[in-house]
Structure 1
Amino acid sequence: MSRLNLAQVNWAQGLELSGGDYGVVAVVAVVALAALLVGYVLLREVLAAGQGSPKMQDIARAVQEGASAYLNRQFRTLGVFVVIVFVLLFALPAEDAGERIGRSLFFLVGAAFSAGIGYLGMWLSTRANVRVAAAAGQPGGREIATRIAFRTGGVVGMATIGLGLFGAALVVMVYAGQAPKVLEGFGFGAALLAMFMRVGGGIFTKAADVGADLVGKVEQNIPEDDPRNAATIADNVGDNVGDCAGMAADLFESYAVMLVASLILGSAAFGVSGLLFPLIVPAIGVVTAIIGVYITSAKQGENGLRAINRAFYISAGISAVLCTIAAFVYLPGTFAELGGGQSGVEGSPAVIAAVAVIIGIVLAGVILWLTGYFTGTEHRPVKDVGKSSLTGAATVILSGISVGFESAVYTALVIGGAVYGAFLLSGSIAVSLFAVALAGCGLLTTVGVIVAMDTFGPVSDNAQGIAEMSGELEPEGARILTDLDAVGNTTKAITKGIAIATAVLAATALFGSYTDAIANTMRSLGEAVDMNQFLVYGPGTLVGLIVGAAVVFMFSGLAVNAVSRAAGAVVYEVRKQFRSDPGIMAGTTRPQYGRVVDICTKDSLRELATPGLLAILAPIAVGFGLGVGPLAGYLAGAIGAGTLMAVFLANAGGSWDNAKKLVEDGHHGGKGSGAHEATVIGDTVGDPFKDTAGPAINPLLKVMNLVAVLIAPAIVTFSVGPDASPVIRASIAVVATGIIVVAVVLSKRRSTMIGDEEESEPQQAVPTSGVAS
């Protein structure tokens, strides 16, 4: 097969949709709306469940108020960023005014959808937690609680796929051939908001969690969710704004960005068929997600993880069959039947598309198994971490790091194999890149179930916290919630692994969109496309690669350091309350929960700016300063380092968390033993790993790739042709670099020392009505 130069493939411009094509898009839009309707039905079912005792409801209400107060303040803060980016997007080059306006407007739509799904995840989770806690105390409590927790996630999953698919279908229906360019704005808005929500929510939740564990468990030797600990409400709030809101927004932007990349590359590879088939695949995913959510039911006495995994594999299998049928029904058997610039390519579009989608679905299943193995309490890695607690905290940390490193290698190899396998499906670069994007679409046919799996974790964690704080659940009910919490830790780790895979597939596909954008701009200026500038052994490209990898490390360091600072303030506040009011430990006085919530809120929002500026401005600095070749190297370095770093952080943290659960279940001395204290310290180290820095790398990769796609035409315009201006290029690079340096320096000046917080007083606390002592 002859491998075509990407520059030869440019027949997406001016694509026109027929009446039948519009009919396909309309059907996809209806399916998307059906997903939202099913989500509403699930919502009503969850809210119909009983809420337990008045005391349990009071605690849940405090969590609801704190979570709503945080997200409202966060959205006001992010509104400034959204306005600035909207203006900058409007200023970027475009083929005409319609494309410029559409790209900017749908940036706002993508941002609004991402924020809305995040808010829905928080809102419903803070209402489902008390219902799960109440259900655990009923006859058949395990099965009922599992169903409520999973269907809570099902609501968010339906909203994710419904809004993502509807937004993409709407753009295609309105803009037709220009849809891929307009969708760049849609995906960028979704990714940007998700990154901020991931970072901010992650800092909040882990600052509270670390502070609560260090003072409560280690220093005061009281249970994790003891109501005497002033950080418990903030900890439960954090689960919702970090894991529920943040992860929901993260998976939505993965869904949206994958669609963006697929439509851009599909229109270049398959023409109109390539513009529509990436909509058909996730539409099938809606059907399988509904099946997956409704068949998830634990049998009598069955482990919840087994029931969830069974539903996932069944829905994935159904997706594979239906997507294969759709490929052979909708796509032709030869490229000659497609016409256009790919008529000379060998192979069958239907076969290539079907195999690519199946590769993505199989990848999801393999990562589910692989992540479950390294983070599940029933497997050797976590058992070894738990056993290492007999010799102290240092060996716990070392063994967890080892698990993280090893699992990162296997996961990266599996993802790399999937990417390369999809790429080898065709001899044309354009078709090969589209196959990679279709693999991502295949993986995301399971996203409805994936979101449900992720939300299951924090809902179960909150339910256990509410039950423990209220003290009104029988031992059997408490044991059920402990088991569900351990299952939730594993499902959260699994969904993080799958989210990382989607990030790599989306980033790789966007990498292809980036080179396509360069080729198109060069042709429009009458310049030859020199692909030699992308060779990795070129000094500029190699420097860009190193810088891209370094940015991932800097971003992770900023996130972990932010948690350290905020957690220090929480530790000081909780210690201060214990010292100043002996009635708290005696149980006669209620702690000031709102003060800790407010500290976490202020610190997390204050820390948002630096990582966000780094993600947006670093590609700009490299691209305008060094050129499009080094920027390609930058993206490659970020994807490689980001994949390994994200998996390492997520799985190391997950192994520490479940090792702690293992000890708390009675192994190696149980609660209160030296082994327990060692695993608590390991879990505390792992908290910012798995719930702040690691998950935030996913949207980071896509934000940087989308920024590169958006600025590529401007870089080329200022580099060659009549508008070339080295001065403008250098000025933009210097300004971007300067802002990054100033932001990082200011961030580093904030102290990490707890004692420096002694004189600071938190702002007025958010209400925490009715939390009893």
Structure 2
Amino acid sequence: MPPTVPELSSSAQGIALAVAVTALLSLVAAWVFRRQVLQAGEGTARMQEIAGAVQNGAAAYLRRQFRTLAWFAVAVLLLLLALPADGWDLRIARSAAFVLGAVFSAAIGYLGMSLAVRANVRVAAAAREGAGGRERGMRIAFRTGGVVGMTTVGLGLLGASVAVLAFGADAPTVLEGFGFGAALLAMFMRVGGGIFTKAADVGADLVGKIEQGIPEDDPRNPATIADNVGDNVGDCAGMAADLFESYAVTIVAAVILGSAAVGETGLVLPLLVPAIGAITAALGVVLVRARPGTSGLTSIQNGFYLSAAVALAGTAIACFAYLPATFAEFSGADESVAGLNGDPRVIAFAAVLLGILLAVLILAITGHYTGTEAKPTRDVADASTTGAATVVLSGIGLGLESAVYTTLVIAGAVFLAFLLAGGVLALAMFLVALAGCGLLTTVGVIVAMDTFGPVSDNAQGIAEMSGDVDAEGAAVLTELDAVGNTTKAVTKGIAIATAVLAATALFGSYQEAVVNRINEVAVAIETPSQYLQRTIGDFSVSTPTTLVGVLLGAAAVFLFAGLAINAVGRSAAAVVLEVRRQFADHPGIMDGTEQPDHGRVVDLCTRDALRELATPGLLAAFAPIAVGFGLGVAPLAGFLGGAIAAGVLMAVFLSNSGGAWDNAKKLVEDGLHGGKGSAAHEATVIGDTVGDPFKDTAGPSINPLIKVMNLVALLIAPAVVTLSIGAEANAAARYGIAAAATVVIVVAVVVSKVRRVDMAAPTGPATGVDLRSGDSAERLP
């Protein structure tokens, strides 16, 4: 039997309370950073007019998305109430925590969007200030991200610490719901926002740049406003929600595994480590500045490294002050852990160090493969001299290669955690989760790095559309945009690593849930140890049914990525047709005598994104249910393993290929191989459009996908065991649930596959953004 965790001691309660206070202070820091951002000037009236159109379009999209997702959340809430837990009080608490996690995820996504669309015009305005514009613009953009980062830290820690204070030993069960709510909503926001932003981006590039020969952010392009809206609902709102759920789910997994491995101490330590990171994140955000003679990327990386170093020092102090000197001194520790030799203070610190080193290594690897100064991206740019095909081939090869090295680093971290645990599985899984907590000590800076990208990109767009920024200011914004492309790629890499560590830890939680339930219900048919030995033995991939589960898990990742990319393709095709129609029907757009209807494209992208996000979401939620109830707990374990392995490789491949294509285009636009308008430029634009759904839709959406599937498996594991063995075994119910889940997936995929773009029909009546008045919030349905 697993250890029983007693009610929290006064010292543990004190630490949890201190963490809650730290969470509140993080929210205060976010408020201070927000005030600093909004105090900056907003530029000219024309710049404010353009920014207003982007603000209204983004807000209208997110409101419609939240209304759509509310119905899905209600359905999941009812299902959660039906799943077994130790009493109805815990079922209700877990379900309430699900709602709270979803609300927090949505709130952070909305905050990321709402501030980014107000900061972008301020960054553009700062670029007009001459010599000081570079430093001021970078500070505004980075502190905008700092607001989102500190809010992510604050709400994540607040939810976890309050659960521990309120529910004590039962907190892990309650936090399952919290993590599931955060992950599920983040996945939908990631998929929906990714479809919106890349449909607009691809459509704008293919017609504007290639067919009409106008710049990316030329206001004559009807898709320009939609493109800028997409940057905010996809990169800001989607990524902010994604990193929040990574933060929440990692803490949840660490709390579950820590309480099982070392008792009360393991319940509290996963709160203490990220709380230290919250303090150091604020320091990192404050210290990032654009210094003369130093690239913006170097300044941001230095801030990240400093934050990581201070967090590591703080963690060392916490581990040696809080943890006992031997494993035997832990109250409520698992027997296999209590008998270990070694100093748990050193081992816990080493696990956190592993996580921080992992973040540093991934930052270096991703920067090497996607940075504008690095050889791989320059090789992709050089391939443009021989056409679009070689650009695409070069980027695919780069992505495949980079995925191997990133995966090796992540796998190495997991293996070293196992070695640190002396081969004891219970402790090893906890150390993996603790390494994830260590990686997330830098999450405040990571979110700031990510938000910096779309804010800088939008600022450049506003400057180009308004025409109110001179050549010197435009050069500053071009530099910040290039830095933002790399920071976005880096944060995607770190988010992937976090997802793998969290999913690996959740995999351990899944096995723990299976073991606990078997011990409870197997007595009626045979001794628990006999059944347990046979069932856990079936977890081996040499067992045919488990191997089938591995294959299905990998296939689910590929199907999910394919659905997301196809959705972008269909929506982008509709945008291309609409933009072409506007140019053909209104020739005055090109000579400036007519205004394009930007609102029609915003509405089109909104409609398609909300329609297309359902299928990938249903696949993620129902695939584990179909496998678990249809094949059993061991094949479901294989399914999770296959999804984690395929997911990390696929996500890194897609993200790094897309990032390299994007920056290769930037290099050519800056004058390499003939610059804008050249054949090389056209080739890199094609590469960039291929990479858009790779890096901003399918790739990053895989992060919440694998965590959603692991959390669904964790939640249904007791029900699968109950219906499989013991007095409540019911084969008909099991297979009926599996069949229903399979039907949902099949119908969703078929509906998605038969959906077509009408190549002849217009896209519908004009609705949405009027660039001159920016009143899309009222006019979007």
Contact 2:253 2:506 in 1 (8 A): yes
Q: Which residue of 1 aligns with 2:717?
A: 712
Cα distance between partner residues in 2 of 1:446 and 1:508: 20
Shift of 1:198: 0.1
Cα distance between partner residues in 2 of 1:524 and 1:767: 63
Q: Confirm or deny that 1:541 pairs with 2:546.
A: yes
Cα distance between partner residues in 2 of 1:440 and 1:666: 42
Task: Give the stretch that moved more between structures: 528-537 or 499-508.
Answer: 528-537
Q: Confirm or deny that 1:666 pairs with 2:658.
A: no
Give matches, 1:589-600, under 5 Å: 589-600=594-605
Does the residue aligned with 1:513 lie in a helix, a strand or coil? helix
Cα distance between partner residues in 2 of 1:431 and 1:347: 13
Indicate which of 299, 307, 331 corresponds to 2:299.
307
Q: Which residue of 2 aligns with 1:419?
A: 414
Q: Confirm or deny that 1:316 pairs with 2:311.
A: no
Q: Confirm or deny that 1:183 pairs with 2:163.
A: no
Give matches, 1:561-580, under 5 Å: 561-580=566-585
Q: Which residue of 2 aligns with 1:3?
A: none
Q: Which residue of 1 aligns with 2:377?
A: 382
Q: Confirm or deny that 1:755 pairs with 2:759.
A: yes
Shift of 1:333: 1.1
Shift of 1:770: 2.9
Give the number of equivalent residue pairs. Answer: 761
Give matches, 1:65-144, under 5 Å: 65-139=56-130, 140-144=132-136
Cα distance between partner residues in 1 of 2:625 and 2:766: 37
Q: Confirm or deny that 1:223 pairs with 2:215.
A: yes
Q: Which residue of 2 aligns with 1:42?
A: 33
Q: Confirm or deny that 1:435 pairs with 2:431.
A: yes
Cα distance between partner residues in 2 of 1:767 and 1:712: 52
Q: Which residue of 1 aligns with 2:767?
A: 764
Does the residue aligned with 2:8 lie in a helix, a strand or coil? coil
Q: Which residue of 1 aligns with 2:48?
A: 57
Cα distance between partner residues in 1 of 2:408 and 2:711: 25
Shift of 1:507: 0.2
Q: Which amino acid aligns with 1:108?
A: V
Q: Which residue of 1 aligns with 2:277?
A: 285
Cα distance between partner residues in 2 of 1:590 and 1:766: 12
Contact 1:142 1:301 in 2 (8 A): no
Task: Give a deviation string over 1:404-433, Cα, whole Å, max 9, x none.
Answer: 000000000001001111121113211110
Q: Which residue of 2 aligns with 1:741?
A: 746
Which runs of no fewer than 5 residues in structure 1 stay unpaired? 1-7
Q: Which residue of 2 aligns with 1:159?
A: 151
Indicate which of 515, 518, 521 corresponds to 1:522.
518
Q: Which amino acid aligns with 1:277?
A: L
Q: Which residue of 2 aligns with 1:560?
A: 565
Task: Give the stretch that moved more between structures: 582-591 or 674-683.
Answer: 582-591
Task: Give the stretch that moved more between structures: 266-275 or 763-772.
Answer: 763-772
Give matches, 1:442-481, under 5 Å: 442-481=438-477
Cα distance between partner residues in 1 of 2:307 and 2:351: 18
Task: Give a deviation string over 1:526-568, Cα, whole Å, max 9, x none.
Answer: 3332311101110000000000000000000000000000000
Cα distance between partner residues in 2 of 1:289 and 1:14: 32
Task: Give a deviation string over 1:24-75, Cα, whole Å, max 9, x none.
Answer: 1110000000000000000000000000000000000000000000000000
Shift of 1:764: 3.0
Contact 1:110 1:187 in 2 (8 A): yes
Q: Which residue of 1 aligns with 2:262?
A: 270
Shift of 1:762: 5.1
Contact 2:5 2:264 in 1 (8 A): no
Q: Confirm or deny that 1:360 pairs with 2:355.
A: yes
Shift of 1:765: 2.4
Shift of 1:608: 1.2
Cα distance between partner residues in 1 of 2:20 and 2:573: 48
Q: Which residue of 1 aligns with 2:609?
A: 604
Cα distance between partner residues in 1 of 2:766 and 2:617: 25
Does the residue aligned with 1:424 lie in a helix, a strand or coil? helix
Identity over aligned pairs, percent:
66
Cα distance between partner residues in 1 of 2:769 and 2:674: 39
Q: Which residue of 2 aligns with 1:28?
A: 19
Does the residue aligned with 2:420 lie in a helix, a strand or coil? coil
CA RMSD, aligned part only? 1.1
Give matches, 1:689-708, under 5 Å: 689-708=694-713
Cα distance between partner residues in 2 of 1:14 and 1:628: 26
Q: Which amino acid aligns with 2:768?
A: A
Shift of 1:301: 4.0
Cα distance between partner residues in 2 of 1:252 and 1:517: 25
The TM-score, its normalising length taken from structure 1, stands at 0.97
Shift of 1:137: 1.0
Task: Give a deviation string over 1:235-277, Cα, whole Å, max 9, x none.
Answer: 0000000000000000000000000000000001110000000
Distance 1:320 1:546, change over 3 A: same
Indicate which of 360, 367, 373 corresponds to 1:372.
367
Task: Give a deviation string over 1:604-630, Cα, whole Å, max 9, x none.
Answer: 000011001000000000000000000
The TM-score, its normalising length taken from structure 2, stands at 0.96
Distance 1:191 1:335, change over 3 A: same
Contact 2:259 2:266 in 1 (8 A): yes
Q: Which residue of 2 aligns with 1:208?
A: 200
Contact 2:5 2:259 in 1 (8 A): no
Indicate which of 676, 687, 697 corresponds to 2:681.
676
Q: Confirm or deny that 1:350 pairs with 2:345.
A: yes
Q: Which residue of 2 aligns with 1:236?
A: 228
Shift of 1:348: 2.2
Cα distance between partner residues in 1 of 2:306 and 2:116: 26
Cα distance between partner residues in 2 of 1:160 and 1:646: 23
Indicate which of 641, 653, 661 corresponds to 1:636.
641
Task: Give the stretch that moved more between structures: 433-442 or 297-306.
Answer: 297-306
Shift of 1:760: 4.2
Q: Which amino acid aligns with 2:150?
A: M
Task: Give a deviation string over 1:197-238, Cα, whole Å, max 9, x none.
Answer: 000000000000000000000000000000000000000000
Contact 1:65 1:768 in 2 (8 A): no
Does the residue aligned with 1:138 lie in a helix, a strand or coil? helix
Shift of 1:767: 5.2
Q: Which residue of 2 aligns with 1:254?
A: 246
Shift of 1:754: 5.7
Distance 1:179 1:763, change over 3 A: farther
Task: Give a deviation string over 1:426-460, Cα, whole Å, max 9, x none.
Answer: 13211110000000000000000000000000000
Shift of 1:285: 0.4
Contact 1:66 1:767 in 2 (8 A): no
Contact 1:548 1:633 in 2 (8 A): yes
Does the residue aligned with 1:755 lie in a helix, a strand or coil? coil
Cα distance between partner residues in 2 of 1:676 and 1:15: 65
Cα distance between partner residues in 1 of 2:393 and 2:606: 32
Q: Which amino acid aligns with 2:626?
A: A
Contact 2:207 2:580 in 1 (8 A): yes
Q: Confirm or deny that 1:297 pairs with 2:289.
A: yes
Cα distance between partner residues in 2 of 1:224 and 1:281: 44
Cα distance between partner residues in 2 of 1:401 and 1:20: 53
Cα distance between partner residues in 1 of 2:380 and 2:758: 30
Cα distance between partner residues in 2 of 1:414 and 1:763: 51
Contact 1:393 1:682 in 2 (8 A): yes
Shift of 1:343: 2.3
